[in-house]
Amino acid sequence: MITTIFFTVLISAICILIHGSVLNYLESLKIQKINYLVFTKFSSILMLSHLIHITIFALFYAYFYESYDATKLFGGNVQDNFIDFFYFSISCYTTLGIGDVYPLGNMRITTGIESLVGLMLIAWTATFKLSYLFKIKR
């Protein structure tokens, strides 16, 4: 349990640092005029940042699934391939929660924290984009 919590906190911190760095990079571009091409570029970079976070959590799930007793970590429709964990991570990160794959035991803590991190970073993205548009409008 301690290992799971340690790595969950570490991964969460890494995701926050990555996203903060991406937002800092976008802020440093000092775009004076917004157009659809710039907005598309911003959106694509931010989407890539979120996909990196999702992938990091998916790698964590896949590693623990391979390293520990899989029946105590996940239930449902899991076929021991990375796509299943990536799909599950997207479901957690976006708080969609479909339910065909579900966490058991210590993984419940990790998935709950991933949902919290995802919600926070998605809101941070939306706030950044909106505030950037308002800055450019002035």
CATH number, position 52: 1.10.287.70
- Considering only residues 119 and 72, tell me which one the structure prediction assigns the higher pLDDT: 119
From the list 81, 58, 46, 70, the residue with the least C-alpha distance to 11 is: 58
60-67, Cβ contacts within 8 angstroms, sequence gap of 24 or more: 60/7, 60/8, 60/11, 60/110, 61/85, 61/88, 61/89, 61/107, 61/110, 64/4, 64/107
User: Cβ(89)–Cβ(57) under 8 Å?
Assistant: yes
Is residue 134 over pLDDT 90?
A: no
How is residue 11 written in tokens? Answer: 């991964």
Which residue range is the domain that position 85 belongs to?
2-137
Residue 70 has a CB neighbour count (10 Å cut-off) of 14
Q: How confident is the model at residue 133 (pLDDT cuts 50, 70, 90)?
A: confident
Q: How high is the pLDDT of residue 132?
A: 75
Q: How high is the pLDDT of residue 137?
A: 59
Q: Which residues pair with 75 in a beta bridge?
A: 102
Q: How high is the pLDDT of residue 138?
A: 56
Q: What confidence tens digit (pLDDT) does each residue in 38-66 have?
A: 888 889 999 999 999 999 999 999 998 88
Q: What confidence tens digit (pLDDT) does each residue in 76-97 have?
A: 888 878 999 999 999 999 988 8
Mean pLDDT of 26-37: 78
Mean pLDDT of 113-130: 93
pTM: 0.88
Domain total of the chain: 1
Strand-strand pairing, 101-103 and 74-76:
antiparallel
